[in-house]
Amino acid sequence: MAKIKKASESLTIMTNIVLPNETNSLRNLFGGELLAKMDRCASISAARHCERRVVTASVNHVSFNHPIPEGGIVILESKVSRAFSTSMEVYVDVWLDDPISQKKTHTNAGIYTFVAVDEFNRPIPIPEMVPETEDEKERFAAAFRRKELSLILSGRMKPLESVELKKLFQEPS
């Protein structure tokens, strides 16, 4: 597939208000509710990138840094951070938006991996992705390290076969 896409082409923004039935006993958004919203947002970004059906392959990282209260306005922003041969990493940022004070608080972040599939649910090739902004370039570079680490932890790659991770631990020449 020769098509090359920009990270910005996969940008997805979802806005929600936290309803009482989505909260825990502390009246904050349930973590599982947030994970589902993040997965939906990320899957749209992945589908926009490859213009195909996608399936969630893994949730690589999620941080819960700040509670999101009942009635809070939640903004989820996702973009493909790197495309590989049939899979792509999608980074999701979550913000609590207070329209009265006009303050946005970064509450959560997550990294998801999706695979593009054909009508028989077999992986298919996807377009390359080119980062443009400094943030996109940093996430693009880090995605390769995360992929290598994931392959090592799953036993599909030997640590000595790593390219990027070895650079982190080698003594400077």
pLDDT in tens, 77-135: 999 999 999 999 999 999 999 999 999 999 999 999 999 999 999 999 999 999 999 99
Q: Is residue 169 part of a domain?
A: no
Q: Does 39 fall in a domain?
A: yes
**Widest CA span in the chain:** 58
CATH code, domain carrying 97: 3.10.129.10
The CA distance from 91 to 151, in Å, is: 19
Number of structural domains found in the chain: 1
Cβ contact 125:55 at 8 Å: no
Residue 52: C-alpha distances to residues 39, 48, 124, 125, 143 (Å):
16, 8, 9, 10, 21
Residue 173 is predicted with a pLDDT of: 63
Domain of 43, in residue numbers: 4-132
pTM of the predicted model, to two decimals? 0.90
The reported pLDDT for the residue numbered 50 is 97
| CB contact set of 156 (below 8 Å; sequence gap of 6+) | none
